[in-house]
Amino acid sequence: MKILANDGMAQAGIDVLERAGHTVLTTKVAQEQLAHFIQEQGIEVLLVRSATTARQELIDACPGLRMIGRGGVGMDNIDVDYARAQGRFVFNTPAASSESVAELVFAHLGGMLRFLPDANRMMPLEGETRFNDLKKAYAKGQELRGKTIGILGFGRIGRAVARMAYGLGMKVIAHDPHVTDSSFDVVFADGQKLTTRASMHPLNEMLAQSDIVTVHIGGKAEVLGATELASMKPGAFLVNAARGGVVNEVALLDALNDGHLAGAALDVFVNEPTPAMQVLMHEKLSLSPHIGAATEEAQDRIGVELAEQILAQA
């Protein structure tokens, strides 16, 4: 089979497919030229990430396309139901990037609670002349241990966050109306395993009790608007590494400006890939360009998992 990884694929996955006798193309084809390329090249499998879409028009234009795979969790850039109704195999890699996203959450939190983004900007500028002043300015950091973390969405990524939080000595609470079993395993490097559970709460109760709220739900529908942000604990922190639009950015800026929230971290934005300038420039925001799953380890896992699913259907 000929496989087009239009948004790229880790070499580990390519190797699995090529050893099985398949051809993998990593040519980046523009969206408007994609259907023609698939037809011309006889592509049977299209692999995408977040940049490429596979809508009904593309599916209809490519009758030889047997499979559509998404490297990652959400498949909102694919018309999944329509493709499956047309007999195409549609798949993703929901578990491969969980740990990477969870680690990014704590990277942002560690930075915000210890003023690292600002300190990293100021030290090269004023570290030589105002070292003691900067030391005093950043001397009121906070520890994660003992804090309550509220996890909105308790799927694979939410549970990965819970494991790390528990290991850091945090109290773990969560909200997810679709989850009945809130247990999770904490696996240690020496092979020991501990099973515990998060305390589940209605959304407003979770928001009111949490020192930190982190968002891990699918879709782009707004969940945290002005009302929900106002119900958060004063001085709390918010992290969104899920989808842009889940958090109302205007309401978030208002909550930061009036001091209700101490800070927030965004890895995803409403207007990707052109986030609003007032978001990009806000001093209380810790920002990254949608890199939750972008680790070498996660990309290898995603590539291999995609390859294995293709081979299982070939």
Q: Is 145 a catalytic site residue?
A: no
Reported as a single tens digit per residue, the pLDDT across 131-165 is 999 999 999 999 999 999 999 999 999 999 999 99
Q: Which of 18, 205, 272, 308 is catalytic?
A: 272
- Per-residue pLDDT tens over the stretch 115-126: 999 999 999 999
Q: How far is CA 48 from CA 2, 5, 31, in A?
A: 15, 6, 11
CATH fourth-level superfamily of 98-287: NAD(P)-binding Rossmann-like Domain (3.40.50.720)
Residues of the chain within CATH 3.40.50.720 domain(s) are 2-94+296-313, 98-287
- Residue pLDDT, tens place only, 46-82: 999 988 999 999 999 999 999 999 998 879 899 999 9
Told to judge if 243 belongs to the known catalytic residues of this protein, a careful annotator would answer yes
Question: Phi/psi of residue 90, each to 5°?
Answer: -115, 130
Residue 297 is among the residues annotated as catalytic for this protein: no
The active-site residue, picked from 222, 260, 290, 308, is 290
Using the CB atoms, write b or e for 99-118: b if 16+ within 10 Å: bbbbbbbbebbebbbbbbbb
Alpha-carbon span 267 to 286, nearest angstrom: 9
Count CB-CB contacts under 10 A for residue 40: 9
Model pLDDT for residues 254-271, shown as the tens digit of each residue: 999 999 999 999 999 999
Pick from 99, 37, 109, 151: nearest CA to 296: 99
Banded model confidence at residue 43, pLDDT cuts 50, 70, 90 = very high
The pLDDT assigned to 149 comes to 98
Q: What is the mean pLDDT of residues 294-309?
A: 95
Catalytic residue among 156, 159, 216, 243: 243
Assign domain 2-94+296-313 to its CATH architecture. Answer: 3-Layer(aba) Sandwich (3.40)
